[in-house]
Structure 1
């Protein structure tokens, strides 16, 4: 079992800025880039320095840094602002310098957002970290370190560690079960909704709003023909209509046919005819409304 106190990658994952810098410098050593970093106002401010401009080529360096940081997955760090410049003398207040005069201090600056591991991956990693921590506490100590730890092999302490480990394991398993149940439940619910939705829709009569949305979904070249079809239906119904309700329905159909004709594009071969029919159908709709009023009396 590795002692996590000396594990730089683990410390970087826990959010240690010093460990993050060490990991970056080790992986960027071949490119000649050195880094410094400060965590400021929720953003990891990263300074990259090299001897030449070529070593600080933006797209390549940004991709490298983002890949390294996402492999580390540092906790509580999502935004990273990458700053670059030619190497210069050590400056303790380098962030103040580049903030005050970015144009004279920097070659370029780029902010990136780190992709976070999903909940399941994070739970697995946290559980592994916890196991490692518990394992470290049970490691045999060297002869020189034994006097420092008092009653390390006390049965009560061992029982407490075992109990803590068991509770952690149970909590982890319960959480995994809860996440799995929610994922399966959502999938089942979505499948059920998809299978029942067409039946529910078929049982509802189409209202005027639904008809309007359906007409908007028609291809533009079919709008003219659809308007003519509705107008023919209204004309046929007008020959046998008697009640006020029938005439109101006919008036609505003439109006719908008029609205469709008004949507015909100028590029349509029968555009001029559509403009004439728009006004004509509107007049027919008004006439049908008048017939409805007469039928009431």
Structure 2
């Protein structure tokens, strides 16, 4: 979290008006345009000032600002009203001045609407950022604890540090997996389908063997088989839902997609703690539930 204090792009993405102003001023510095901004009544009021009118050419400047803001994707900001005028002395109440007499105060004014990123893509981005922050926080705590131990010359191992290190390693592996998933796309999906087919074939072979054993043997093998079936089935449904999400447009399609993600989440929740991929199943349970909620929201939008 400490690193984020100086991350202007991240602060602008979170919706900080001060960070947005700084980012715009950096990007527009070569054109000689300076900006000021106020967020009022759900609209980001942006004032662009330049020494000459040619620096404030409307179509070019509007295009530049829209590209910068859409690449930043500031939270909760969709409407932006761009105002321009020749630079003048600092005015604390500049918005009130231009609102009261826009014809004499401004060269031109234009409102734009920012294109918002897809809700599922935003969810994956948020999850990736949250996992990265968790890794940083845990790593900082471990480093601090080690430094304290060295300073005070303690000569024993801290079990809590070991647990935190294991948790950090697990988060790193999961984060790497989701990054690879996001980048490889369809290639990874095809690989997962092959793996799922192999897993299903193995499960069927195990079931056949179990049927030939006495009743006691069947009971001892039933729990792992159920876990594997639940995990495999959930992954298969998730792959299908992910493919359907690319073409869903109507309310009915989004509702079907939400039901699929919820079914995958419910199956993952049934995996027992004894399963070797139990921790991954817990994470997937929450992620699939978020996807289901996101699809439900898209269905509600399509109705209206």
TM-score where L is the length of structure 1: 0.51
SS for the counterpart of 2:64 is helix
Task: Give the structure 2 partner of residue 33 of structure 1.
Answer: 33
In 1, the alpha carbon distance for the partners of 2:71 and 2:4 equals 18
Report the CA distance between 1:164 and its aligned residue.
11
CA RMSD of aligned residues (A): 3.9
Q: Deviations over 1:66-119 (max 9, x none)?
A: 000000000110000000000111111111111111111100000000011112
Task: Give the structure 1 partner of residue 226 of structure 2.
Answer: none
In 1, the alpha carbon distance for the partners of 2:86 and 2:62 equals 16
Task: Give the structure 2 partner of residue 43 of structure 1.
Answer: 43
Q: Does 2:160 align with 1:155?
A: yes
Task: Give the structure 2 partner of residue 17 of structure 1.
Answer: 17
In 2, the alpha carbon distance for the partners of 1:99 and 1:58 equals 19
In 2, the alpha carbon distance for the partners of 1:185 and 1:83 equals 39
Task: Give the structure 1 partner of residue 301 of structure 2.
Answer: none
Task: Give the structure 1 partner of residue 121 of structure 2.
Answer: 121
**Gaps in structure 1 of 5+ consecutive residues:** 148-152, 191-297
In 1, the alpha carbon distance for the partners of 2:66 and 2:247 equals 35
Question: After the TM superposition, which parts of structure 1 deviate over 2 Å for at least 4 consecutive aligned residues?
Answer: 138-143, 153-166, 176-179, 181-187
Sort the Cα spacing of 1:37 and 1:160 in 2 relative to 1 into closer, same or farther, 3 A.
farther
Deviates more, 1:23-32 or 1:126-135: 126-135
- Between structures 1 and 2, the one with greater helix share: 2
TM-score where L is the length of structure 2: 0.50
Contact 1:44–1:81 at 8 Å: present in 2 too?
Answer: yes
**Gaps in structure 2 of 5+ consecutive residues:** 149-157, 182-233, 254-304
SS for the counterpart of 2:68 is helix
Paired residues, number: 179
Q: Does 2:185 align with 1:180?
A: no
- The correspondence of residues 1-297 of structure 1 with structure 2, limited to 5 A, is 3-140=3-140, 155=160, 158=164, 177=238, 180=242, 182-183=244-245
Sort the Cα spacing of 1:177 and 1:4 in 2 relative to 1 into closer, same or farther, 3 A.
farther
Contact 2:135–2:168 at 8 Å: present in 1 too?
Answer: no
Sort the Cα spacing of 1:163 and 1:93 in 2 relative to 1 into closer, same or farther, 3 A.
farther
Report the CA distance between 1:133 and its aligned residue.
1.8
Report the CA distance between 1:23 and its aligned residue.
0.6
SS for the counterpart of 1:138 is helix
Sort the Cα spacing of 1:33 and 1:185 in 2 relative to 1 into closer, same or farther, 3 A.
closer
In 2, the alpha carbon distance for the partners of 1:39 and 1:71 equals 19
The structure number with the bigger radius of gyration is 1
Contact 1:134–1:161 at 8 Å: present in 2 too?
Answer: no
Report the CA distance between 1:162 and its aligned residue.
5.9
In 2, the alpha carbon distance for the partners of 1:8 and 1:20 equals 8
In 2, the alpha carbon distance for the partners of 1:96 and 1:87 equals 16
Contact 2:138–2:168 at 8 Å: present in 1 too?
Answer: no
